[in-house]
Amino acid sequence: MDAAVAVSYTLGVVEPYTSGIGGGGYMTIYKADTGEVIMLDFRETAPAATDARQWLDADGNIMYYTTEEGATLTGAYSRLNRLGGLAVAVPGEIAGLEEALNSYGSGNFTRAMLMADGIKYAEEGYLCMPMMEEASNEEYTQISAMKELSEYYLNDGWAYETGEVITNPDLAKTYRLIAEQGPEVFYSGEIADAIVGSVNGYGGHITKEDFSSYKVEHRTPLSSTYRDYKVYSLPPSSSGGTHLIEILNILENYDLATMEINSPEYIHAIAEATKIAFADRAEYMYENVEQSVLDGLTSKEYAKQRFDGIDAGNGKYTAADPAAFEHGSTTSYSIIDKDGNMVTCTQTIGDFYGSKIAVPGYGFILNNEMYDFSLDPESVNCAKPGARPLSCITPTVVLTPDNEPFLTVGTPGGTRIFSVVAQVIERMIDFDMDVQEAINTTRVWADSETELHYERTTEDSVYPLSESAMKALEDMGYTLVDKAAYDNYFGGVQAIALNGDGTVRGGADPRRSGKALAY
């Protein structure tokens, strides 16, 4: 846990476009001495003044952000639920890390010691990575429209290029305040005052009371089995664990090990199971969903019923609500220590650069997690005061049939998250894959009646889709959507496998700036 907290704070400096203290996340913890699995939910929460129609005009149409100069921006990233003050939820990351450290840390490190590397990088600089350059260019219109964000994360008005050095002394100052004064300075002190001023200056309605009332939730993990391996993952407010388990339960009805990986029949199984999960997500899932619904969605009997409804072609299931979909702007890490304790955490600020509001003088970016609520005021996942928007985040721990640690795994990737994690777990169990091979294997994703997203083939592709497989899938009724090879659209899995012979293998995703390290 000491390492996890240090990694989290450091990522908030060097990957500010995907996570940081202006956001939140989820953490799954495995305690080696007791075999206990613990979940911490430090997801962002809606302000008390939230209204389900706050982003809609009188006719029910989504409104778009208007700059100080009076120009109304266009495009999905410029909607009021994604850009500006009405997109910001109360951040949970500081509270979550403090709870994690106090409850599960060794006690050998102070908060200041674990924040030291983050402070060093903020002051001395870090290199812009390709992912950051890509993110900055992707949402350049929105970034450049926000004065404070532009000053921190544009270079004379342009996106930083790969290899250029970025510093942020204001963020170093903020980290020192938190290191010295604790979370109180963030939730009831000067940082809270600065956030409230920034958010409301950009059209929001957040209050200091929203901050002082924030709390971390300890959740009971959802658990199931896949081929007798024990899977532990998140309950709501994330939908990720529920539908990861649902997908695996459906796939368990196939004899996947006899199929060729990424053959038409194999992809059909993955796609239909994923589409069913999204149909159920749209219909049932929100933060306080009844336990009986969760029990049903994660039961083997329900999965068999859903499996029996799959035919040989592209199935037609109720489509999920696209307004509630997450962007892929998130980061994930997994850690194991010499005693076998495991932590997997996924943290986020929403879109790349979140709400695009940077807090002046403090150097960090505020989330835009409010867009994970549905725009439909009648939806079970509509915005409500104090609610946590639904997520797909899925940090997961897997144990062997003998209750020995097997895998800790998580990924960014928005709505692709739980499907991607399911594909990695399934391949390691059904095909006895090495964790890195399972991560590198070509991925697919589907959430609607017809479209199937796949990774383009290159000479480096692992188990690529063949031309004959793509033709067969089209004949089955799929509309194929070509994504780039090793595209960050499909996440950035970070995982650690315990091989049963005393060796440990770290797997890092080439689709993003991942790395496996051992000490």
pLDDT band per the 50, 70, 90 thresholds, residue 230: very high
Of all residues in the chain, the percent with pLDDT exceeding 70 is 97
Structural domain including 18 reads 2-217+348-372
**pTM (2 d.p.):** 0.92
Average the pLDDT over each of 258-272, 302-316, 391-405, 412-426 and give the range with the smallest value.
Answer: 302-316
The structural domain count of the chain equals 2
3-class SS letters over 184-248 = HHHHCCHHHHHHHHHHHHCCCCCCHHHHHCCCCEEECCEEEEECCEEEEECCCCECHHHHHHHHH
Residue 272 and residue 412 in one domain: yes
List, in sequence order, every beta strand (DSSP E) within 400-487. Answer: 405-410, 444-445, 451-455, 479-483
Q: Residue 224: is its pLDDT beyond 70?
A: yes
> Residue 155's beta-bridge partner residues?
158
In this structure, are 205 and 229 located in the same domain? no
Q: From CA 92, how far away is CA 27, in angstroms rounded?
A: 12
Report if residue 161 sits inside a domain: yes
Q: Dmax over Cα atoms in the chain, in whole Å?
A: 64
Same domain, 442 and 311: yes
Same domain, 252 and 129: no
Q: What is the pLDDT of residues 240-290, one digit of tens each?
A: 999 999 999 999 999 999 999 999 999 999 999 999 999 998 888 888 889
* Residue from 341, 385, 412 nearest 52 by CA: 385
Residues 224 and 304 in one domain: yes
Q: Mean pLDDT over residues 431-457, rounded? A: 92
Looking at residue 256, the DSSP 8-state letter turns out to be: G
Establish whether 330 is a catalytic residue: yes
The band of 96, judged by pLDDT with boundaries at 50, 70 and 90, is very high
Same domain, 358 and 450: no
Phi first, then psi: give them for residue 250, nearest 5 degrees: -65, -45
Q: Are residues 265 and 198 in the same domain?
A: no
- What pLDDT is attached to residue 288? 86
- Kindly indicate the confidence band of residue 322, based on its pLDDT and cuts at 50, 70 and 90: very low
Residues 162 and 15 in one domain: yes
Q: What is the mean pLDDT of residues 423-441?
A: 97
**Residue 420 sits in the same domain as residue 485:** yes
pLDDT band at 329 (very low <50, low <70, confident <90, very high): low
Instruction: Give the residue-averaged pLDDT of 190-211.
Output: 97
Question: Given the structure tokens 């799959």, which residue do they identify?
Answer: 310
Query: Of 174, 330, 348, 408, which one is the catalytic site residue?
Result: 330
Find the distance separating the first CA and the last CA of the chain, reported in whole Å: 15
Same domain, 189 and 104: yes
Residue 487, pLDDT score: 86
Residue 379: inside a domain: no
413 inside domain: yes
pLDDT higher than 90, residue 313: no
Tell me if 483 is assigned to some domain. yes
- The answer to whether position 340 is within a domain reads no
In a domain, 334, yes or no: no
Residues shown for the chain: 519
Q: Which two tokens stand for residue 507?
A: 């797997």
Mean pLDDT of 352-363: 97
Q: How far is it, in rounded angstroms, from Cα 8 to Cα 18? A: 12
Average pLDDT of span 329-333 = 85
In a domain, 150, yes or no: yes
User: What's the chain's average pLDDT?
Assistant: 94
Pairing assessment for the beta strands 396-399 and 229-233 based on DSSP bridges: antiparallel
Same domain, 6 and 95: yes
Out of 238-242, 276-280, 335-339, 412-416, least confident range? 412-416
Reply yes or no on whether the pLDDT at 319 is more than 60.
Answer: no
Tell whether the model's pLDDT for residue 87 goes beyond 90. yes
Residues 285 and 199 in one domain: no
Between β-strands 330-336 and 479-483, what pairing exists: parallel, antiparallel or unpaired? unpaired
pLDDT of residue 325 exceeding 50, the answer is no
